[in-house]
């Protein structure tokens, strides 16, 4: 009897040892499956489609050879509380990443970020074309255009979309609605404009933030030099204070066909709301998307008595307080010193 008991004890101990060894092996195998770097010849992209469940995802990991058993991923995600947090999107799968890393990334929504840059000086039409044609954005219907963009985006209190999208670089996941990018750009412009208006210079001859946006768009189109923006803004502000016409070519070019860079004498004389040679004050809408620097310059222009400026043909401008000085600068920089060629175009 004692011998039988001894045999049972030895057998039970052996079984316990075998079970323990088996459990340790299983735990080590499980951990190895999760922590082993994925065998990749090159970085990949993994698209987790909306509605994909944990079991389907786990099977895909197994199919690709990233784990030996789909059950490993299911157990891991449930133990970590990640099963219900997986987010659809495009994920980067890089060398050195483990299955556990990828599941964590999916639970965090760490999707691949694509980008789109709206440059300063573009128009609303350019911005709409850019988001419509971006490969990673869901394009808007063809029926969406500049004429109905305000309505489609739901922009309250705005009649015309021009100028209302802040030039910047915007990041987004694959499949993002293109119109959402424009909504973000609009909110960014609203915040930038409100801050600039709140910090504007005293006695600025502008009625509201929208007029500031219009002026900033003109400054944006007149110069790309950071050291000139506030001085260009000062010229237009000084003219507005004195009731002078702005006489700025970009407002006329805004309504020309795409690609037109030079204005004819007839176009200068054709009266319309954007002709700042024939009409005083600001045009009815912005003429471009102004950047932060142009908005700040328009809100706080330089303290000068300049009323004129002319291009030196090297990207910079000569500024003048008097018409006589301006005329001399035009002859020097634009007419090769030939005063007989001076016409009415001088600003």
CA distance 298 to 290: 10
Is 60 exceeded by the pLDDT of residue 309?
yes
Is 50 exceeded by the pLDDT of residue 32?
yes
- Report the topology of domain 36-112: Dna Ligase; domain 1 (3.30.1490)
What value does the mean pLDDT take over residues 89-96?
A: 90
Cβ neighbours of residue 296 closer than 8 Å, sequence gap 6 or more? 196, 229, 230
Under DSSP, the state recorded for 227 is T
Is 60 exceeded by the pLDDT of residue 313?
yes
Q: Do 100 and 108 form a contact (C-beta atoms < 8 A)?
A: no
Phi/psi region, residue 175 (left: phi>0; alpha: psi -120 to 50; beta: rest), is left
What value does the mean pLDDT take over residues 38-48?
A: 87
Is 60 exceeded by the pLDDT of residue 135?
yes
pLDDT of 8: 43
42 pLDDT tier (thresholds 50, 70, 90): confident
Task: Quickly list H helices, the chain.
Answer: 2-35, 54-63, 70-79, 99-108, 124-133, 149-153, 178-198, 209-222, 229-242, 249-253, 265-269, 292-299, 323-333
Q: How does pLDDT run across 217-262, given as a tens digit for each residue?
A: 999 999 989 899 999 999 999 999 999 999 999 999 999 877 777 8
pLDDT of 266: 87
CB-count burial class (<10 Å; 0-12, 13-18, 19+) for 231: buried
Helices (H) and strands (E) in the chain, counts: 13, 8
pLDDT of 10: 47
- The three state secondary structure string of 65-85 is CCCCCHHHHHHHHHHCCCHHH
Side-chain half-sphere of 91: how many Cα atoms within 13 Å?
22
Q: Do 321 and 239 form a contact (C-beta atoms < 8 A)?
A: no
What value does the mean pLDDT take over residues 177-194?
A: 97
Torsion of CA 282, 288, 291, 294, to 10 degrees: -30
Q: How does pLDDT run across 7-27, given as a tens digit for each residue?
A: 445 455 545 444 554 555 556
Structure tokens given for 287:
């003429």
What value does the mean pLDDT take over residues 19-42?
A: 71
What value does the mean pLDDT take over residues 78-100?
A: 91
Cβ neighbours of residue 53 closer than 8 Å, sequence gap 6 or more? none
Ordered by start, the domain boundaries in the chain are 36-112, 113-301, 307-347
pLDDT of 334: 87
Chain mean pLDDT for the chain: 89
């Amino acid at each position: 009897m004692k011998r039988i008991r001894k045999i049972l004890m030895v057998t039970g101990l052996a079984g316990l040892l075998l079970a323990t060894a088996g459990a340790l092996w299983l735990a080590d195998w499980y951990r190895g499956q999760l922590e082993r770097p994925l065998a990749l010849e090159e970085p990949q992209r993994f698209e987790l489609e909306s509605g994909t469940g944990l079991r389907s995802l786990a099977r895909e990991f197994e199919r690709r050879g990233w784990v030996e058993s789909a059950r490993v991923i299911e157990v891991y995600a449930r133990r970590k509380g990640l099963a219900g947090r997986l987010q659809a999107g495009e994920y980067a799968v890089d060398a050195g990443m483990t299955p556990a890393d990828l599941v964590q990334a999916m639970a965090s929504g760490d999707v691949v970020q694509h980008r789109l840059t709206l440059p300063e000086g573009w128009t609303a039409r350019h911005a709409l074309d850019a988001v419509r044609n971006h490969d990673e954005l869901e394009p808007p219907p063809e029926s969406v255009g500049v004429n109905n963009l305000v309505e489609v985006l739901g922009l309250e209190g705005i009649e015309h979309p021009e100028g209302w999208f802040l030039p910047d670089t915007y990041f987004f996941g694959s499949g993002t609605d293109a119109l959402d990018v424009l909504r973000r750009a609009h909110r960014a412009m609203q915040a930038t404009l409100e801050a600039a208006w709140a910090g504007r210079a005293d006695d600025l001859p502008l009625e509201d933030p929208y007029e500031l946006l219009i002026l900033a768009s003109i400054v944006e189109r007149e110069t790309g030099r950071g050291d000139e923006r506030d001085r260009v803004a000062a010229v237009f502000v000084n003219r507005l204070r004195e009731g002078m016409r702005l006489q700025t070519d970009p407002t006329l070019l805004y309504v020309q066909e795409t690609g037109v860079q030079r204005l004819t004498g007839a176009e200068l004389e054709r009266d319309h709301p954007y002709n700042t040679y024939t009409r005083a004050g600001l045009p009815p809408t912005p003429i471009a998307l102004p950047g932060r620097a142009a908005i700040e310059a328009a809100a706080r222009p330089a303290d000068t008595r300049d009323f004129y400026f002319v291009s030196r043909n090297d990207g910079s401008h000569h500024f003048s307080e008097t018409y006589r000085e301006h005329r001399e600068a035009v002859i020097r920089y634009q007419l090769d010193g030939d005063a007989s060629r001076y016409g009415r175009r001088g600003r």
